[in-house]
């Protein structure tokens, strides 16, 4: 059901914890699926010098949080903004259809932290004020419909 990479990032998550000196913090979650992700970043000169996460959720939520932090660590803010849930899934060698929403939450947590950084520093990153909130319930419904075709 899960790839070796998913299992590795679940059993040995990278970048777990809280950054005390974080200048960017993002939290996303949904009560429907129960996953909550909080991302902490230390950004210096436009580069993500350090990143950590705390996730409450299933194994896939932990694995996607871990992989997302690995994918943005050491990258520029602009590169991190381009991180997609698809890139997270590909880096993990895929996710079961019912767990794709975890990769979307990981992407949104990264974007939420970058939005926080933008607001704190006044640097316009082109993130709108009203990011669309992800609804796990509708995603599961859509996924279930897609699986029947």
Low-confidence ranges of the chain (pLDDT < 70): 128-149
| Structure confidence at residue 141 (pLDDT) | 35
Cα angle: 130, vertex 132, 135; to 5 degrees: 145
d(C-alpha 58, C-alpha 105), whole Å = 12
Q: Which residues, in sequence order, are bridge partners of residue 52?
A: 40
Separation CA 149–CA 140 (nearest Å): 15
pLDDT at 137: 46
Residues in Cβ contact with 144 at an 8 Å cutoff, skipping those fewer than 6 apart: none
Give tens-digit pLDDT for 132-148.
Answer: 444 454 444 333 333 32
Predicted pLDDT at 33: 75
The pLDDT value recorded for residue 144 is 33
Predicted local confidence at residue 129, as pLDDT: 55
Q: Catalytic positions, please?
A: 33, 102
Residue owning tokens 């129960």: 34
Tokens at 87, concatenated: 């890139």
């Amino acid at each position: 059901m899960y790839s070796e990479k998913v299992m590795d990032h679940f059993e040995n998550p990278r970048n777990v914890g809280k950054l005390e000196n974080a200048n960017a913090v993002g939290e996303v979650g949904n009560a429907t699926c129960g996953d909550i992700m909080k991302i902490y970043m230390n950004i210096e000169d436009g580069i993500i010098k350090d990143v950590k996460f705390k996730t409450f959720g299933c194994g896939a939520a932990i694995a996607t949080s871990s992989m997302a932090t690995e994918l943005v660590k050491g990258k520029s803010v602009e590169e991190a903004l381009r991180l997609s849930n698809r890139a997270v899934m590909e880096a993990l060698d895929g996710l079961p259809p019912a767990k794709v929403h975890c990769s979307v939450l990981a992407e949104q947590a990264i974007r939420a932290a970058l939005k926080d950084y933008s607001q704190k520093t006044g640097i316009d990153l082109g993130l709108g004020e009203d990011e669309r909130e992800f609804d796990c319930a509708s995603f599961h419904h859509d996924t279930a419909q897609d699986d029947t075709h």
